Chain A
Amino acid sequence: MNKALMTYLIWPLVKFIIAFIIVQGIVAAMNWVERRLLGLFQARLGPNRVGPWGLLQIIADPIKFLLKEDIVPARAEKIAYFLGPVLPLLPAFIVFCLIPYGPPPTFTVTRVNVGLLLILALTSTAVYGIILGGWASNNKYSLIGGLRSAAQMVSYEVPFGLSIIGVLMMSSSLDLVTIVRYQEVNAWNFIPQIVACFIFLVSMNAENNRTPFDLPEAESELVAGYHTEYSAMKFAFFMLAEYSMMIVNSCLIVTLFFGGWTLGMFGVGLTTDVLNGMGILGGVIGAAIFFTKVMLFLLMYVWFRATFPRFRFDQLMDLGWKFMIPLALANIFVTGIFILAGQERLMYWIGLGVIGAALFYLRPKKKRAPTKVTQKVAHAG
């Protein structure tokens, strides 16, 4: 066999298929994890009837979707209606080629030196599917839902991209592997770039239409927004795209801010060199660390969903344009000043200070004065 063929086609394909299967397994499991965990947050048990601990729910849901009738509305634009669910799915799948799951070169599918830019470009195209799906349904409310969703996603694309720039300035590379290797030598980026990490986390939720920002498909208020007219497998594709994008964004935040596959800072701990020294076992350990971190962020999505009430649309836009974007720009400016002055280490102390202050705020303490309830006296006349 040709060596070049092996290096550039067969191995990446095999690796991609393995990564794809793992990630799709997580997507399928997420459905159950989310419902179960949300139940536990709400003093319920969640789905526990199908199989042990309700685990067969993971299989039962896709079967239900497959067996349902696939309805196409009358006078729907057939091709666009079909493309609607497929378009958001494609970039989500392609992006899984670009994420480094473990120490290179074995555990990265492809290594692109502008990987981050490519990921941003690909994930942005998911909006087309939503607009197309809303428009092709031949339903004016679906169209409005699609446009609302698009407005939200495009708005939060800006702070999403701007928050990454701080990380790029620190590690001076667009290559995800280089960014991770920068973090293991210095601190994980969430310490010096704590503000950017916060913005990324918030806009990540907004990008995925997750709960504080789930206006496009507000479950308790709307029918479904842009995918009202979709049923059966097409609807499942929208869900699949949404959960895949959740995993993509979790992978991104882990890679950019939480040290990717490494478990160490300042060159101490399980760094890439240590893992590579252990051979293939080290690689597996690295991938396990990576996926554990990703799972933690997926659980965080559910935690947020259990906690925060939904934003109003104008509040959503205010938060995006009046708060997040100026904050992201200020973060770039301040980071630039620190880098110019050669004082990157000072940023670690600031980041640690912020994290420490937040932990101090959350310390176990006596309850604040309980909510006072007073009887309002109704005046006669």
Chain B
Amino acid sequence: MLVEYPKPRWSDKFLLLDLLEGLKTTLRELFTPKVTIRYPEERMEPADRFRGMFKFSYDRCIACKLCAVACPIDIIYIDVHDEMIEEGGKKKKVKVLDRYDIDVKRCMFCALCEEACPTKPKSIWLTTKTYELASYDRNDLYFNMQELEYWDDRPKYTGLPEAEPQAQLDEPKKQITGGVQ
């Protein structure tokens, strides 16, 4: 890439007026809106196709174990048993899911399980908007199937306790949407 700058004027060489131009530019920047997101008080709402934490759907899952096979580090644990049910007078054998655990602390979010899933729509998918996955205990990051399905109901971090007055915000809180594309 070749960048052509504006031709310097004859006066630029000794009058140092471009210094003033620079000062003017930075002064303008002083009053521009700031890009910092003060995290615990403000959060970013990710874009719609943001890839975050897993979500699992028990109803859609057909217990085919393809996701466990696809997983490159074998952290999906599935147990299945067969059950006979009657449907329209005929007896039919169906697989019933007993256990569907993911050891998320070892997960690298490669999404190969999502690709392998044959159901439509997918019964394990990653396009959720959660990115706050940190935990104080590593055992908290082992999810069973109920937890995987309803993890967004768990109590969320809502900032520091009320009793402690927090660092005051200079500007009113703002909701930032679509920051990550």
Which A residues are closer than 8 A to B by beta carbons?
Answer: 37, 40-45, 48-54, 303-304, 306-308, 358, 361-362, 368-369, 371-376
Contacts and interface: CB of A to CB of B under 8 A. Distances in A.
Given A45-B38, A53-B168, A371-B4, 18 more contacts: A41-B26, A42-B29, A43-B29, A43-B34, A43-B35, A44-B36, A45-B170, A49-B167, A52-B167, A52-B168, A53-B167, A303-B27, A304-B23, A307-B23, A358-B17, A358-B20, A371-B6, A375-B2
Contact of A372 (B4, B25, B26): B4
B64 to A, nearest CB: 50
Interface in B29-54: 29-30, 32-36, 38
Nearest to A367: B6
B73 interface: no
Please classify the interface of chain B as helix (H, G, I), strand (E, B), loop, or mixed, using the class held by over half of its residues. mixed
Contacts of A376: 1-2
Q: Which of the listed residues A45, A369, A371 has the most CB atoms from chain B within 10 Å of its own CB?
A: A45
Contact of A308 (B22, B24, B32): B22
Contacts of A49: 167
B134 interface: no
B151 to A, nearest CB: 30
Nearest to A374: B2
Interface string B108-129: 0000000000000000000000
Nearest 10 Cβ contacts at the A-B interface: A372-B4, A307-B26, A376-B2, A45-B36, A52-B168, A307-B22, A49-B167, A306-B26, A368-B6, A43-B35
Interface in B72-122: none
Contacts of B5: 371
B2 A362 contact: no
B19 interface: yes
B180 interface: no
A37 B33 CA distance: 14
A375 B3 CA distance: 9
Interface residues of B, number: 27
21 contacts: A41-B26, A41-B30, A43-B33, A43-B36, A44-B34, A44-B36, A45-B38, A49-B167, A50-B167, A53-B167, A306-B26, A307-B25, A307-B26, A308-B22, A362-B21, A371-B4, A372-B3, A372-B4, A373-B3, A375-B2, A376-B1
B24 A362 contact: yes
A374 B170 contact: no
B167 A54 contact: yes
B27 to A, nearest CB: 7
Nearest to A370: B6
Contact of A361 (B4, B17, B32, B170): B17
B141 to A, nearest CB: 28
Contact of A369 (B2, B6, B29): B6
B51 to A, nearest CB: 28
A54 B167 CA distance: 7
Nearest to B26: A307
A308 B19 contact: yes
Contacts of A54: 167
Contacts of A44: 34-36
B26 A51 contact: no
